Amino acid sequence: MTDNELKTDRKRSFKKQVGFCREADVLIHDAQYTPEENRDRRGWGHSDYQAAFELAAAAGVKKLILFHHDPSRTDTQQAELTGACRQLAQAENSVLLIESAKENSEWFL
Protein backbone atom coordinates (compact mmCIF):
# COMPACT_ATOMS: atom_id res chain seq x y z
CA MET A 1 0.00 0.00 0.00
CA THR A 2 1.76 3.08 -1.28
CA ASP A 3 1.25 6.78 -0.64
CA ASN A 4 -1.25 5.98 2.04
CA GLU A 5 -1.90 8.31 4.93
CA LEU A 6 -3.48 5.91 7.39
CA LYS A 7 -6.14 7.16 9.79
CA THR A 8 -6.49 10.53 8.05
CA ASP A 9 -7.47 9.28 4.59
CA ARG A 10 -11.06 10.43 4.23
CA LYS A 11 -11.68 8.23 1.18
CA ARG A 12 -10.82 4.93 2.90
CA SER A 13 -11.66 4.23 6.52
CA PHE A 14 -9.22 2.36 8.73
CA LYS A 15 -11.85 -0.37 9.13
CA LYS A 16 -12.03 -0.85 5.35
CA GLN A 17 -8.25 -0.93 5.12
CA VAL A 18 -8.15 -3.62 7.80
CA GLY A 19 -10.72 -5.61 5.81
CA PHE A 20 -8.69 -5.23 2.63
CA CYS A 21 -5.53 -6.53 4.36
CA ARG A 22 -7.26 -9.20 6.47
CA GLU A 23 -4.98 -12.22 7.07
CA ALA A 24 -2.55 -11.32 4.30
CA ASP A 25 0.68 -13.29 4.28
CA VAL A 26 2.63 -10.11 3.49
CA LEU A 27 1.76 -6.42 3.68
CA ILE A 28 4.22 -4.04 2.05
CA HIS A 29 3.28 -0.65 3.40
CA ASP A 30 4.39 2.97 3.19
CA ALA A 31 6.23 3.88 6.41
CA GLN A 32 8.06 7.02 5.41
CA TYR A 33 7.88 8.74 8.78
CA THR A 34 8.15 8.27 12.51
CA PRO A 35 4.96 9.11 14.44
CA GLU A 36 6.62 12.33 15.63
CA GLU A 37 7.57 13.38 12.09
CA ASN A 38 4.10 12.59 10.81
CA ARG A 39 2.46 15.07 13.18
CA ASP A 40 4.02 17.92 11.18
CA ARG A 41 3.37 16.29 7.81
CA ARG A 42 -0.35 15.61 7.81
CA GLY A 43 -1.73 15.85 4.31
CA TRP A 44 1.54 14.84 2.65
CA GLY A 45 0.10 11.41 1.81
CA HIS A 46 2.45 9.14 3.76
CA SER A 47 2.18 6.96 6.85
CA ASP A 48 4.42 6.34 9.81
CA TYR A 49 5.68 2.96 10.97
CA GLN A 50 3.35 2.90 13.99
CA ALA A 51 0.24 3.31 11.84
CA ALA A 52 1.51 0.61 9.45
CA PHE A 53 2.06 -1.72 12.42
CA GLU A 54 -1.40 -0.99 13.81
CA LEU A 55 -3.00 -1.82 10.46
CA ALA A 56 -1.02 -5.03 10.06
CA ALA A 57 -1.74 -6.14 13.62
CA ALA A 58 -5.47 -5.35 13.38
CA ALA A 59 -5.70 -7.25 10.09
CA GLY A 60 -3.86 -10.33 11.33
CA VAL A 61 -1.10 -9.95 8.76
CA LYS A 62 1.80 -12.39 9.08
CA LYS A 63 4.66 -10.19 7.79
CA LEU A 64 4.92 -6.40 7.49
CA ILE A 65 7.49 -4.94 5.16
CA LEU A 66 8.11 -1.24 5.69
CA PHE A 67 8.92 0.65 2.52
CA HIS A 68 8.75 4.02 0.83
CA HIS A 69 11.46 5.25 3.13
CA ASP A 70 12.30 8.90 3.56
CA PRO A 71 15.12 9.47 1.04
CA SER A 72 17.01 11.64 3.53
CA ARG A 73 17.15 8.80 6.09
CA THR A 74 20.44 6.91 6.39
CA ASP A 75 20.62 3.11 6.47
CA THR A 76 21.37 3.29 10.19
CA GLN A 77 18.36 5.53 10.82
CA GLN A 78 16.16 3.17 8.80
CA ALA A 79 17.40 0.22 10.86
CA GLU A 80 16.50 2.15 14.02
CA LEU A 81 13.02 2.87 12.67
CA THR A 82 12.53 -0.82 11.91
CA GLY A 83 13.75 -1.67 15.40
CA ALA A 84 11.27 0.76 16.90
CA CYS A 85 8.47 -0.91 14.96
CA ARG A 86 9.61 -4.33 16.20
CA GLN A 87 9.55 -2.97 19.76
CA LEU A 88 5.92 -1.96 19.23
CA ALA A 89 5.14 -5.51 18.16
CA GLN A 90 6.96 -6.94 21.15
CA ALA A 91 5.14 -4.61 23.55
CA GLU A 92 1.84 -5.82 22.08
CA ASN A 93 2.93 -9.49 22.27
CA SER A 94 2.48 -9.63 18.51
CA VAL A 95 4.01 -12.44 16.44
CA LEU A 96 4.01 -10.16 13.39
CA LEU A 97 7.32 -10.32 11.51
CA ILE A 98 8.66 -6.88 10.55
CA GLU A 99 11.30 -6.05 7.95
CA SER A 100 12.38 -3.04 5.94
CA ALA A 101 12.48 -3.18 2.20
CA LYS A 102 15.98 -2.83 0.81
CA GLU A 103 17.27 -2.34 -2.66
CA ASN A 104 17.36 -5.66 -4.55
CA SER A 105 15.28 -7.43 -1.87
CA GLU A 106 13.34 -10.51 -2.89
CA TRP A 107 10.66 -12.32 -0.92
CA PHE A 108 9.33 -15.75 -1.76
CA LEU A 109 6.14 -17.19 -0.35
How far lies 37's CA from each of 16, 40, 62, 81, in Å? 25, 6, 27, 12
Total structural domains within the chain? 1
Residue 49 is predicted with a pLDDT of: 93
Residue 105 is predicted with a pLDDT of: 79
Read off the pLDDT of each residue in 12-34 and give the average, rounded to a whole number. 90
Read off the pLDDT of each residue in 18-46 and give the average, rounded to a whole number. 86
Q: Is residue 50 part of a domain?
A: yes
Read off the pLDDT of each residue in 7-19 and give the average, rounded to a whole number. 75
Q: Is residue 108 part of a domain?
A: no
Structural domain of residue 19, as residue ranges? 14-100
Select the more confidently predicted residue: 50 or 12: 50
Q: Is residue 88 part of a domain?
A: yes
Res 8 pLDDT > 70: no
Q: Is residue 2 part of a domain?
A: no
Q: Is residue 4 part of a domain?
A: no
Longest dimension (CA), the chain: 37
In this predicted model, what pLDDT tens digit does every residue of 61-88 receive, in sequence order? Answer: 999 999 988 888 898 999 999 999 999 9
Handedness of CA 19, 20, 23, 29 (dihedral sign): negative
Q: Is residue 94 part of a domain?
A: yes
- Helix orientation angle between 49-59 and 75-91, rounded to the nearest 10 degrees: 40
Give the pLDDT band (50/70/90) at residue 108.
low
Q: Is residue 18 part of a domain?
A: yes
Do the beta carbons of residue 34 and residue 46 sit within 8 Å? no
Strand partners, 28: 65
Q: Is residue 43 part of a domain?
A: yes
